[in-house]
Amino acid sequence: MSDAGSSDAQIIPIGTNGRPGRGTGRERPSAAARSLAGGSKKRTPKEKASAQRQRKQPAHEPAATPPPVAVTRTPVTTEERHPLAGVPVGDWLAAFQDAALEVFGEQWERRLAEMMAFMRRRLAGEYVVDEYGFDAEVTERFLMAALRPIAQKWFRVEVRGVENIPATGGALVVSNHSGTVPVDGLMTMVAIHDETGRFLRPLGADLVFKMPFVSSMARKSGATLACGEDAERMLSGGELVGVWPEGFKGIGKPFSERYKLQRFGRGGFVSAALRTGVPIVPLSVVGAEEIYPMVGNLPSLARLLGIPYIPITPFFPLLGPLGLVPLPSKWLLEFGEPIRTDSYDASEAEDPMLVFNVTDQARETIQQTLFALLRERNNVFR
């Protein structure tokens, strides 16, 4: 390559000692620069003259740039700006519909209208509460809706013999009691309502109606005090009444005595059924004994607090609030064949031997059904 062709090559500026844009500023490029320019073709005299003029141009003169274009924008004050500026109304409506669909499902319009109507009725006081304080609307819309996922997903409650529950008229459901905490009563209420559409009216102990928040919720859900007068009035009025004759002795028994029925009181529930002539439906519940395995008790502290017992389980109070989460045992509820009482005269409810015999028949039916269900069950949690 000739020196003339090499001297006209554009050299990449390296370092800071040379003239800006021209490397070292020497007239003759270095050997390294000449090697970078290899393969360049010879320029015509016209191109050489143009390159000479560019070299003679002062380095500090910047290239001419077009003047900036001024953009005029109308100022917008805080008062003039709309809160939803920039978001079309259609987009907001679409977002609202998507959210409603996510919360209420496919029938979101109907369910939203029902909820608004419910709120209007509650605020206006246009709802019915019976003489016991039972609020059917609150029970169905909130209590049942809150308990249903627990029954279906956590305990996976399986119901059998639901055809033994009368579709109409009064009846007395008699069940075993277990679980340290009376969750079995709540699950029974949900199971009966979902299977038959009827509300179970529980008979509760005195302690239930002495607790501030629990008392109000128990009344609204249909519970009443476990006394003969209230039970007879409900049964005579065609209600489906539930009773757990073992009481606190049933739910507070140690885990070693699980599924062994305690004494069924003095048979007051049988007397109420005999006086009103309603059938007695025995109910056997398997699975509730394992939700809080009770391995100990603190009787002194329980007496001080005025409660029947303070349970100690493998997880409570060791794990604190986490120990209050019930174990997800598999539940089986079986309703037995009704025990008829309409063949007896109302005056025979005063016969202690008859009351004892009917009470023992209900207790023995429940106990034998529990043993049969336990033999059938292979795993506590399946």
pLDDT digits (tens, 9 = 90+) for 292-333: 999 998 888 888 888 888 999 999 988 988 999 999 999 999
- pLDDT category at 363 given cuts 50, 70, 90 is very high
More confident residue, 245 or 123: 245
Rounded CA gap, 273 and 277, in Å? 6
User: Are 138 and 220 spatial neighbours (Cβ–Cβ below 8 Å)?
Assistant: yes
CA distances from 156 to 100, 147, 316, 329 (A): 29, 12, 24, 8
DSSP state, residue 134: -
What's this model's pTM, rounded to 2 decimal places?
Answer: 0.71
pLDDT surpassing 70 at residue 197: yes
Mean pLDDT of 66-95: 60
Query: Which CATH number describes the domain made up of 136-291+326-376?
Result: 3.40.1130.10
Q: What is the pLDDT of residue 77?
A: 54
In this model, does residue 356 exceed pLDDT 90? Answer: yes
Q: What confidence tens digit (pLDDT) does each residue in 208-237 have?
A: 998 889 999 999 999 999 998 999 999 999
Residue indicated by tokens 């398997």: 286
CA dihedral 123, 128, 131, 132 (to 10 degrees): -70
| Owner of token pair 């005029």 | 72
Who wins on pLDDT, 39 or 99?
A: 99
Which amino acid belongs to residue 253? K
- The band of 70, judged by pLDDT with boundaries at 50, 70 and 90, is low
Residue 30 pLDDT: 60
> Is residue 6 scored above 60 in pLDDT?
no
Cα separation of 370 and 260, whole Å? 9
DSSP 216-249: HHHHHTT-EE--HHHHHHHHHTT-EEEE-TTTHH
Query: Mean pLDDT over residues 157-169, rounded?
Result: 96
Mean pLDDT of the chain: 83
| Residues 327 and 290 sit within 8 Å (Cβ to Cβ) | yes
Please tell me the predicted confidence (pLDDT) of residue 76: 47
Q: How confident is the model at residue 74 (pLDDT cuts 50, 70, 90)?
A: low
Mean pLDDT over 353-370 rounds to 96
Where do the domains of the chain lie? 136-291+326-376
| Distance (Å, whole) CA 78 – CA 91 | 23
> Cα 88–93–98 angle (5° rounding)?
125
Determine if residue 86 is left, alpha or beta; phi over 0 gives left, psi from -120 to 50 gives alpha, anything else beta: left
- When mean pLDDT is compared across 52-61, 164-173, 286-295, 345-354, the lowest value belongs to 52-61
The average pLDDT across 73-82 equals 52
CB of 312 closer than 8 Å to CB of 295:
yes
Length of the chain: 382
Please give the helix or strand (H or E) that residue 201 lies within, else none.
strand 200-204
